[in-house]
Amino acid sequence: VLTGTVKSVSRGPPQEPGWAVVSVLSLHKSGGLGVPQPAKGATLRLQLPCRLCPALKKGSSYVLMGRLGGDGGAVLPPDAFVVPYRPQQQQVLGNLSKRPCRGTP
């Protein structure tokens, strides 16, 4: 789970994936990303396989849940969880980060 502000969105040619550059506000349950908690304002590049969705607006902040690509990079597919971020959500997301995973690897 990532909260961040969209700095730029590049959709590219129809046969190529697009990219979004997001300034990280916070990172929760980053697991497979294999990155330490980034400093506020660090940027992360997300691959956008679909040209039209999710609809991201430059300058807006979101709560994002995507996947890891084959190369280990962050991918935001069309079915990814994307909602506008509100500061009131920070406490709930912080509590989520503290919960251990109960699933089996």
Per the rule left: phi > 0, alpha: psi between -120 and 50, beta: everything else, 14 is: alpha
- Please name which of 88, 100, 90 lies closest in space to residue 2, comparing C-alpha atoms: 90
Strand partners, 9: 20
Which pLDDT band, with edges at 50, 70 and 90, does 39 fall under? low
Class of domain 2-98: mainly beta
pLDDT, tens only, 60-84: 999 998 887 877 788 899 899 999 9
Which strands sit side by side in the sheet containing 43-48, from one edge to the other?
A: 67-68, 74-75, 43-48, 18-27, 2-10, 61-65, 81-84
Q: Where are the domains of the chain?
A: 2-98
pLDDT the model gives residue 28:
75
pTM of the model: 0.78
Average pLDDT score over residue span 40-57? 85
